[in-house]
Structure formats: structure tokens, C-alpha cells
Amino acid sequence: MRNLNEDTITQAVLARHANATDARLKTVMTSLVQHLHEFAREVKLTEEEWVAGIEFLTAVGHITDDKRQEFILLSDTLGLSTLVTAMNHRKPDACTEATVFGPFFVEGAPGYELGDDIANGAKGDPCFVRGTVRGVDGTPIGGAVMEVWQADAEGFYDVQYAGDEAHRGRGRIISAPDGSFHFRSILAEAYPIPHDGPVGRMLSALGRHPWRPAHLHFMIKAEGYETLVTHVFRDGDQYLDSDAVFGVRSSLIAQWVRHEPGPTPDGGASSQPFYTLDFDFVLNPAA
């Protein structure tokens, strides 16, 4: 088609999709083109702004590597990750809610026995975590594979330390036959998402802060149940109502209880103050 203009270009592009063999791809791309074109018309996008947008996305790609996923960070900070999670993980009210995956999950984290210290030297006050995994009908779920990861007291995940390949504050445990689990880690602290790149510059330009409330990540898999990706947030954190990635759910807020030096839940003793966290997870049966 020749002599296209601002009024005819959209339909011309959509016509090129007529021979798409993947019906879902055709649906998604048709809607994407329609919304992109309408966005450009609505804001009267200038050429300079279009170039700036291309440069921004290019910069997001350049800073992304096997340890930093800036595109996920962009999706998180625009609320898209939470929207997609909410649409795809509707559950009965009794189930533990899902929330954003985040950019710092790592495949192949080390396995630990129940009761082990997954902190593995990460900086932070000692914390003992315990709870149960069960089905929505109350059935204990033994053998659930629980991936756990968190930032340290400095606000960094292990993969953010250049040249250090050790896994810290990260591990995989398996629930006991009665569904119970317990492990040792460190106290969750609030921290800023990486804001030294294009996403950080975007937040600054929008007058937004980069902080996340203190939390512990979980991904729980069990045969016959939907995989759960969620956080447990620390009650009282100042960023619970302004999480930079919109991940907080009231049902996921729990208390980290402070204890003076003395006996610990694992039968040992601590010479410094420590914390305990109790939280139970309820999984939804797989469809």
C-alpha cells in the first residue's frame, strides 16, 4: 500500500498480519499495534520523544545481563508485572497470594537441610524462619520444594557483588512430611532496587523513590499444586504503602519478632539479639 498517512497506517499494518499461522500471536500483535498507534496519536508523540524512547529501551537492553534483568525491573516499576501476576494467579481467598517474581532469582541455588543456615555469611541479624505448607483443604504438603532468596543488611543480593560467586541469603529446602519447614537466615531489611541505570533515571524523572519494603522471597513447588511465587513482608516497614514495584499484599505482611540474646528455636543459643518469623503457606490445587 502506498501513500499511507497518520489515519491509514494502523489498518495497513494490521492487514500484514492476515497470514499469521499462530492465532494467539496474531491477537496479541494486533492489539499491541492498535494500542501503540493510539498512544502515539493521543500524546502527539514527537520525533525527539520517539528517539528518546528508543534510546531508553536500548539502554535497558545494554545493562541487562545474566545477573541483572533491567527489563523485569522496568516491568515491575510500571506495575505491569503485578498486573500480569494478578490476572494469571486468581486463587481462592484461603490461598497464599502470589506477587512479583523480581529480577534476582537464580537457578541452581544450593540445597539445604531443614534447620540449616541459608544466609551462608550474608550480613544481617540472625533470623529463624518456620512455618508449614498445606493445601487449601488443610492437607499437609510434604516434599514441597521451597526456593528462598533475600537481600542482605546492606540492601544487596549475592549476585550484585562483583567477583563473588558464592550463594548467600539464597537456598532450596524441602518441607517435612507433615508440611513443616524451618531454616535460619538473616533479618529482612528495606532496600532500593538498582537505580544506577535507565530504570533508576526514569524513576528520578518521575519523582519516584526506588525503595522496596523488607521482604523474603519464596517460590514453592509441589506435585499436584500450582507453583507459588510470593514474598513475606516485614510488618511496620515505612515502604509498605509505596513499594517501588507494587508487590505488597496485606495478607503477606508478617511480624519479625525480636528476641534478646539467649536460647534459639533450633535448640542453640545466641550471644546477640535475634528474630523469628512464623508464616504458613497455602497452595492452590493444580487445575
Residue range 31-63, pLDDT digits in tens:
999 999 999 999 999 999 999 999 999 999 999
280: nearest Cα among 254, 247, 259: 254
Q: Are residues 187 and 261 in the same domain?
A: yes
CA–CA separation, 244 and 240 (whole Å): 10
Q: Are residues 20 and 89 in the same domain?
A: no
CA–CA separation, 151 and 196 (whole Å): 17
29's enclosing H/E stretch is helix 23-43
CA distances for 103 relative to 66, 88, 109, 179, angstroms: 10, 19, 15, 28
CA–CA separation, 132 and 181 (whole Å): 6
In a domain, 88, yes or no: yes
* Enclosing domain of residue 27: 9-45
In a domain, 147, yes or no: yes
Ordered per-residue pLDDT tens for the chain, 287 residues: 678 999 999 999 999 999 999 999 999 999 999 999 999 999 999 999 999 999 999 999 999 988 789 999 999 999 999 999 999 999 999 999 999 998 889 899 999 999 999 999 999 999 999 999 999 999 999 999 999 999 999 999 998 888 777 899 999 999 999 999 999 999 999 999 999 999 999 999 999 999 999 999 999 999 999 999 999 999 999 999 999 999 999 999 999 999 999 999 999 999 999 999 999 999 999 98
> Would you say 262 and 270 are in contact if contact means Cβ atoms under 8 Å apart?
yes
Number of domains forming the structure of the chain: 2
Predicted pLDDT at 161: 87
Q: Are residues 235 and 276 in the same domain?
A: yes
Q: Are residues 24 and 130 in the same domain?
A: no
Predicted pLDDT at 123: 94
pTM, full prediction: 0.91
Q: Is 62 helix (H, G, I), strand (E, B) or coil?
A: helix
Q: Are residues 106 and 15 in the same domain?
A: no
Predicted pLDDT at 1: 64
80-88 helix and 70-77 helix, angle to the nearest 10 degrees: 80
Predicted pLDDT at 56: 98
Q: Are residues 78 and 23 in the same domain?
A: no
Q: Are residues 233 and 277 in the same domain?
A: yes
